[in-house]
Structure 1
């Protein structure tokens, strides 16, 4: 029984060290996944912003052309 106790303590300590090392590895892996998710989210936001800017630019361009056409029609009618 004495030998079992003397083997048990180092075994418990070794298992504790392995579990801590495993937790550290799991933490690093989780952090890497979070970083990748954050990067993907940033890219999605940037793409959405570009699309919104383009849509706004297109809408203003069409409205701007309509306003210029209306001004030109008014000027030609006055003459």
Structure 2
């Protein structure tokens, strides 16, 4: 009977460790996705600025730059 009690205790502890490990993995994955999204947004912004500069250089500044429209709440929450 003592062996069964020990086995049950070991299984419970192993289950708790597994659940704890899953939580840590989920948090790490969320942080990684957040950093990846921020990096992608920065790359898009940099590309947009470079495209605007190239267009300005190509047209000799003949085309005026439009002021950006304020982002709607939907657009901000898309990522």
TM-score of the aligned structures, taking structure 1 as reference length: 0.74
Aligned length: 63
In structure 1, C-alpha distance between the alignment counterparts of 2:38 and 2:47, rounded to whole Å: 14
1:11, distance to aligned residue in structure 2 (A): 0.7
Aligned CA-pair RMSD: 1.6
Residues 6-42 of structure 1, C-alpha deviations (whole Å, 9 max, x = no match): 1110110010000000000000000100011101110
1:48 paired to 2:54: no
In structure 2, C-alpha distance between the alignment counterparts of 1:18 and 1:66, rounded to whole Å: 69
Match of 1:62 among 34, 57, 62: 57
Structure with greater Cα Rg: 1
Instruction: Tell me: CA distance 1:43–1:66, structure 2 relative to 1, closer, same or farther (3 Å).
Output: closer
Which structure carries more helix by proportion?
Answer: 1
In structure 2, C-alpha distance between the alignment counterparts of 1:41 and 1:62, rounded to whole Å: 31
Residues 28-68 of structure 1, C-alpha deviations (whole Å, 9 max, x = no match): 00010001110111011001000000000001111121768
TM-score of the aligned structures, taking structure 2 as reference length: 0.74
Q: Which runs of 5+ in 1 are unaligned?
A: 1-5, 69-79
Give matches, 1:23-34, under 5 Å.
23-34=18-29
